[in-house]
Amino acid sequence: MAVLRPTLKFIGASSLHCRLHPLSRIRSSAFRAFATNLSPPSKAVVYEQQGPPDQVTRVIDLPPVELRANDVCVKMLAAPINPSDINRIEGVYPVRPPVPAIGGYEGVGEVYSLGSGVSNLSVGDWVIPSPPSFGTWQTYVVKEETVWHKIDKSVPMEYAATVSVNPLTALRMLEDFVKLNPGDTIIQNGATSMVGQCIIQLARAQGLHNVNIIRDRVGSEEAKEKLKNLGADQIYTESELEVKNIKGLLGDLPEPLLGFNCVGGNAASLVLKFLRQGGTMVTYGGMSKKPITVSTSSFIFKDLALRGFWLQKWMNSENSKDCRRMIDYILSLVKNGKLKYEMELVPFEDFKGALDKALGKLGSHPKQVIKF
Amino acid sequence: MAVLRPTLKFIGASSLHCRLHPLSRIRSSAFRAFATNLSPPSKAVVYEQQGPPDQVTRVIDLPPVELRANDVCVKMLAAPINPSDINRIEGVYPVRPPVPAIGGYEGVGEVYSLGSGVSNLSVGDWVIPSPPSFGTWQTYVVKEETVWHKIDKSVPMEYAATVSVNPLTALRMLEDFVKLNPGDTIIQNGATSMVGQCIIQLARAQGLHNVNIIRDRVGSEEAKEKLKNLGADQIYTESELEVKNIKGLLGDLPEPLLGFNCVGGNAASLVLKFLRQGGTMVTYGGMSKKPITVSTSSFIFKDLALRGFWLQKWMNSENSKDCRRMIDYILSLVKNGKLKYEMELVPFEDFKGALDKALGKLGSHPKQVIKF
């Protein structure tokens, strides 16, 4: 494990951010030696520059932080490695967070200690940062009370740790663009992704039919079987959709009025083909790295609308109350066995191995969730 | 001039449509020889099958039609040859109107006679069919009172004849998708088109800035000068936009939040590039016959929305009252010299010549408007 080098330069964008930086921790402990309310030291995954996550991240020990009146110190229980965490470390997003930074944006923890002014949380409560907030890949996180959302302790910790990015993306996309009623149909590509799996189950919980497109690959029959078990009504590989009358495949299902695209290229065109007159396609990813191509007549005669979704837009926004309501709903589905997805809990000591798996260096693996 | 052949087969989709067919006219006059309220005979441009307009249309004489209680007989004054009229005759629209049919969808006429139950119109009123309605290329049109919208007689007849398709498309697109405020900017390609010219002037009337893209061609400087005179703030040819920092060209103008595309291909991509975060592009034509290609990040990070517009959607809809309000507003701008576009009034006798000009067979010509 690396030792904190005094030569590191830390640049904080906000006071909150500053206070999570290793250097600010040193300052706190050095200049306030007699402070009474300190967090324990924290072990954290830090990166000092953007780049390949397996090269730029390292686990270091951070000194205690002083809790201000409204602060809450949370002992992290679990936090996932999401593709968006990887993208942030790589620096491929249009807005790069300042470095150095601690990795991770979501996770669940237990309240460990409270600032003197905190009244709505108690030691032992389970909490998640909502909206998701940087720095969850560490053993103790200190943030203001308003950052934390108290949740039901009776759900498995790996679901609590992962609820606020992928499942919330799925639910927001089902609710934010088109008014859906039970009996309506939705269509999506990239259906085997974690968001895709959530869409299938959330759609089912709301009485919506769902049509799913997956890529052609070895094991596609097995993938279909898995999605069927989650509640998928129809599943097609892209090549199975090379037919003249694509809508004939729908049988008795109503034509979809909402579609989700996380692939682009041909897979996006297939979603557009399935959509009914006046339908909407929401793009939230581009796994094929190909653009979306749309005919003029799709807009004029078929009256399709194309939109985009990025959860980031919801962070630090006025919608946090709405997001928390949705999170509670999603966790209630988890509790009732109506929402599940595969995860692998990995001890924090094995972070590098989990990161390699999340980076796809070791073949296909379930979502990696660090257990602290 | 052709004589009506009794062997023609007429298939009417609706009773209204039926009553405008030559055969139904024969029936009316044959079986109701003693009816007292008949229209005059009408001279009409008819096509018996879809195809090249200069081959399938012919001018024929139609016998008188009996006016029912709610009918109004209108002596047509003027009607334009719009690209959409040509497309309908060609049969390139997804929904083909039944044939045989009388050409033309908009125009202005003078009330000639009234059914016994008509109370809101008087002989001599100027009226236009609103929403636009088939069969305006004839000397006398009989339709129900509700079809007709009475307009101000003091505007030039060629503007009254052309207000309800192109200028209304421009105004609806400015009002239906994004809430615009004075000082906002809009961007469009195909700016020299009739809709494009209307967008410039309507935007100006509403205090909006406008940025315009035209195609590279001989005479583009002249075209720019013309659009400048109509009120264009900025005009670029496509090749002038092959720059790294396209938004740098905007200078002091706010980034556009609404864009219009009637071209597709590169010209559509340029509109997307100009749009600001969260902007909307509305497609209403595809002159280049190329599709619209959009990057995934345009949807996710730039949060662009892509929509389509087709005036046809407004026909026979609940929005007719709204459209009539807009038409009155547009005609008031015409009256005040704030909206103008080039037209050529052509006597009905020269219909074939006007059609050839509208089809582009004789080079570039202004909008052809038939004067009856």
pLDDT grade, residue A93 (50/70/90)?
confident
Per-residue pLDDT of B208-230, as tens digits, reads 999 999 999 999 999 999 999 99
- The set of residues, in sequence order, having a beta carbon less than 8 Å from that of A192 and lying 6+ positions away, is A214, A223, A226, A227
Cβ-Cβ contacts under 8 Å, A283 against chain B: 296, 299-300
Distance from CA of B244 to the nearest CA of A (A): 17
Range list for CATH 3.40.50.720 in chain A: 166-312
Distances in whole angstroms, Cα of residue A129 to Cα of each of A79, A149, A323:
11, 6, 11
User: Looking at chain B, which residue has its C-alpha nearest residue A299?
Assistant: B308
- Lowest mean pLDDT across A22-26, A72-76, A121-125, B110-114: A22-26
Q: Which residues of A touch B (CB under 8 A)?
A: 93-94, 264, 283-286, 291-310, 313
Per-residue pLDDT of A153-183, as tens digits, reads 999 999 999 999 999 999 999 999 999 999 9
What single letter denotes the amino acid at residue B273? K
Q: ipTM of this predicted complex? A: 0.85
User: Looking at chain A, which residue has its C-alpha nearest residue B283?
Assistant: A299
Q: Report pLDDT for A104.
A: 96
Instruction: Give the closest of A283, A303, A305 to B313, CB-based.
Output: A303
User: DSSP state, A188?
Assistant: E
Cα separation, A280 vs A260, in Å, equals 9
Q: Return the CATH fold of B15-164+342-371.
A: Quinone Oxidoreductase; Chain A, domain 1 (3.90.180)
Task: Kindly determine whether residue B284 and residue A300, on different chains, have CB atoms separated by under 8 Å.
Answer: yes
Per-residue pLDDT of B34-59, as tens digits, reads 557 999 999 999 999 999 999 999 99
Distance from CA of A260 to the nearest CA of B (A): 12
Tokens describing residue B118: 């008509």
Percentage with pLDDT > 90 across chain A = 81
Domain A15-162+342-371 has CATH 3.90.180.10: yes
Q: In the CATH scheme, what is the code of domain A166-312?
A: 3.40.50.720
Cα separation, A104 vs A368, in Å, equals 12
Nearest-CA neighbor of B197 among B224, B160, B236, B158? B224
Interface test with B, best of A300, A301, A303, A312 (most B CBs within 10 A): A300
Per-residue pLDDT of B74-96, as tens digits, reads 999 999 999 989 999 999 887 77
pLDDT grade, residue B15 (50/70/90)?
very low
Nearest-CA neighbor of B290 among A297, A304, A269? A297
Distance of CA A91 to the CA centre of its chain: 17
Task: Kindly determine whether residue A300 and residue B310, on different chains, have CB atoms separated by under 8 Å.
Answer: yes
Query: Is the model's pLDDT at A273 over the cut of 60?
Result: yes
- Interstrand relation of B280-283 and B258-261 (parallel, antiparallel or unpaired): parallel
Tokens describing residue A9: 């330069």
Range list for CATH 3.90.180.10 in chain B: 15-164+342-371
Chain pair A-B, CB pairs under 8 angstroms = 93
Instruction: Give the closest of A284, A293, A300 to B300, CB-based.
Output: A284
Q: Which residue has the higher pLDDT, A133 or B331?
A: B331
What single letter denotes the amino acid at residue B219? G
Interface test with B, best of A296, A306, A311, A315 (most B CBs within 10 A): A296
Select which of B93, B159, B236, B341 is catalytic. Answer: B93
Cα separation, A366 vs A246, in Å, equals 32
Query: Treating both helix axes as pointing N-terminal to C-terminal, what angle do A220-230 and A194-205 enclose, rounded to 10 degrees?
Result: 30
